[in-house]
Structure 1
Amino acid sequence: MRRRTLSALCTLGALGGVLAAPTAAQAADPHPAGPSVRTDETRIYVDFGTRTLPKDLKVLLRKTGTDTPVATIDEFGFLEDMDPCMPSCQDDPGETAVETTPLRLADLGRYAVDVEYDGTEGETILHKDEAIFDYHLIPQVKTFEVSGKPDLEHRTVTVKADATLRDPRDGAETPMANGRLVLETTATKTGLTTDAAGHVETPFTFTGTEKHDTTTRQNDVRMVLRPAGANAAHGLTRQVEVGYTTTDITLDSPTVRGADGTDAPLTGRATYRDSNGVSKPVPVGTPMSVYTVRTFKTGEDGRFTTQVPVDGTRRQTIALLGTPWLSNSYAYVSSDPTTSAGFHRLPTVTVSRYKKVSVSGVFDRYDLPAYTTLKVNLQFKAKGTTTWVTKKTIDSPAMAGDSSRTVTAADLPYQGVGVWRFQFPGTKQIPAGPAPESYTVYRQMTAFPEFNANPEPVKAGAPLTITGKLNTKNEDNGQWSAFAGARIDIYFRAKGTTTWRGAGVAVTGNDGKFTKTFTAAKDGDWQAKYEGDEWSHFYSYSRLDFVDVQ
């Protein structure tokens, strides 16, 4: 954890040479949280989160465990802003961190980093122990060569390299004698040791499962050689082109069998063809997949074992995922469900403008021993929840053997935003299969927050103006807003009657408001209705407004 101390140096007063410490009201640290400080092998970086730096900024270095600074740095440069549109092109403050030049100190070792600058009244602000600067000899791989063009039959190449140690005090380089290097590919990591001259020359054998180097358009794999404990920037990278061969997948059985919606074991063997056309096992760890479902890897002798989902009678694809060494290859396995029942296709759900829901789905049954009736639950899960609620249970007759039947539920009350599914819960004799959920289903609510017939009362033959407003609800954020361009039907019911008749039509403006003027004739109720649309909005109606015609 960083420790910060704040010290204010006394200043000599202007009157009579009196020493006076600035009070809290007079002086303050312009950056009380302190800077963020980091280091690399030769530089120190200071960031106050702003491009306005404090006055008289200095970085002080102390040997760890001592109190006396051995170096003071007061020259800095702003780092280049590598992403001028983060967080956005309008709000990007630019790079706020500053850096020192590469430091040339007298001695190697570990140094404590302090940051000093002027406070608001010119007092000295000191933040101690903001970081540790490790000043050491810098390892570097200077040369790196790979000899040979490997393929699966000949995976061994020769690696040659030289490594040095650079002294940051003067830039001098010396061989990294008996130094530890790390050779990495996407499949393995190997330690190497240099000789007294900083040189290494050794064979290296690929596993045959390395991935493509996507930075090139050739059939390459990437090799990185770096000093142990250092990142790739201290090393060198080489792309090695490898040989390519075709593959085959042989399944022990072309069919898997199990209850619908369960996993069934599948075994087989993956091979490649050598230059003489002879089939040989692919390397251990070669990537494979049950297509789009799960991945797995080959074992010894190219053998593999995986689990294949029984999804009705749907065929599954087994894939050998191509590598620089091996071609893509595919095999197909059929599913044969045992006694079970379930749904494989997404249910179809419609929501009418009158807030009624209809759901249908295809119910598949397999290997049933005899005619029976199966109970199916229609369930709903509201947006933002994980709980399925059964809204209806439906009887579905099923014949012996395999069969399919469409299950339908109609005119259910709208439940809000959410998903629907049909679910067969299973019985002791008939296990349950899949129960996929629908896409999210919803329509937008509409409402009349305003409706008025004016004036009231009104003289017979005088103008009567109907005004109102229609709003719609955004189901994502729950906010209501004006609904523009909606057709509004205006109805009238004369006093003493039960029959409504259409009086006229209005259209909402951009503010959701509408106006329609009539000639007053009879006492009665006025009401506005919005009939909804084909897909998006529910119907709604306004309050009643009674008008007395005199």
Structure 2
Amino acid sequence: MGTTALAVFASTLITAPAAQAADVRLKSRTSTQEKDGKIHAVYESYDDHVRPEDVSIRIRKKGGDQILDTVRIADRCAPESDCWDMEFLSEPVTLPEMGVYTMDVVVREGQADELVHRDNGELTYGLAPRLTVTSDRQWISYDNHLITVSGTLVAKDPNTHEVKPFAGAGLYHRATPGGGGWLWTNDEGRFTDTLHFFEDSTDTRHEYSFRSERETLTLPFRKQELKLKVDAPLGTVNAPYGSEVPMRGKLTRIADDGTEKPVLRHGITIGGKNILPTRKDGTFSGRYTVKQAGTVKIAPSEWGWFNTTAHSFEVAKAPRTSKFTSLKASADKDRKVTFTGKLGVTEGSYPAGTTALVAMEHSTDNKTWSNVGTFTAKYGATFTQSPAKKASTSSYWRLRHTGADLSSTSFKLGRKTTQLVDDDLTPEGVRKGKTLTAKGSLIQKSGSSWKSFSGQTVRIYFKASTKGATWKKLGTTKTLSNGTFSKKFTAQQDGTWQIRYVDTPSTHYADYGREDYIDVR
């Protein structure tokens, strides 16, 4: 609420009936001052139409209603003067014991337009306070970013002049740069404060004050030195374009106690781009993709706790020399596609452990390609890799070195599709010892039509319904000229049956029939 509004509010309250004082919130404030060995209340005037001679101050215990003392303002403001923003001292205060009390401001006490502002301020009833402040650290650093400040406040009892702990007193803490806040002493006159610092902190001044008493702590900011050890790569790197060379090292710091300690979870930049996090022991590892010749800088990410350090290596001008060798691709009877081969170079060399990211690609027309999986290939080592995508009747497959945009020759893979149809075990319910018949047909796709597939071996499997049972092959049969087959068995126990075509030529895919449960009575 603004000044004008409060003035109008106070003027309105002056007309309140004499029967009861009006409780208000005044802008004027009260505090404590010691003068000539006495404690006084200080009245700071900020309310229109209220003069210091109209003001008295009641003093109570915190949380209680009993008035222990009432004092008037001893200082005066000239009748013709504006008393705004002026301080006035009260008569000396007399209380039964040292402590912290609350003050009510009373305007025109006992008159019809009396105003009362309860709990307007605190009176600290104690003489010659002495404040001491210490900290458990003398500077700010990575090892000292949490600092505990401890302090004590004592004063003389105004009645006995005995020096005692000043309990419940409020102290103001101000940081430069920074903010501030209040702290309170405990029953022993003690207080603690925890200061939190961050990497962007600077030398900081902390002031703790009580009345006219002030204690200051100055905490300098100390950066620690970093040590970066790079194990690989070293010197000049000669590697194929797009390859990934191994990178290893360790980052440590010189701690406040002078010992060398690992720096964990700190980012290491490579060429200003890649970021590798350090582990608990300070080590880091990763890979650098060779794209151009020149100097590559390895450095810890800048962090305010530390002074920076760096390492560099040279990349030699390398031709695009990568190639796939001994590369083969196949699709098995279960439609699994497998690539085998090596990644090598046509000329030049590479550091031990150099790798490259390789994509497995699929196309239906040998023109438009899609990525169906990736893997990391180590130069000079044989790889065997399979994508999740299954083979179809006929499509194209290839590998691509993604870093160098190098593609292998394409492979046309595929087999003819087969299908078990009308596969069944009959009868569905049968008595033990009676005959069961496994039957059905096997067909193969030829172009857009399906034809019978004769002369093929079909297997019949059974899995008992008992716990832990596994599939067992019970017999085989051959398909006739029309592709049909049948095989008789003696019913022994409940279980599940399945007919499978897995003995395929290299030109055809396998097929698995449905699982058929038979209840044996």
Q: Normalization by structure 2: what TM-score?
A: 0.35
Q: Normalization by structure 1: what TM-score?
A: 0.33
Q: Which one has a larger percent strand, Structure 1 or Structure 2?
A: 2
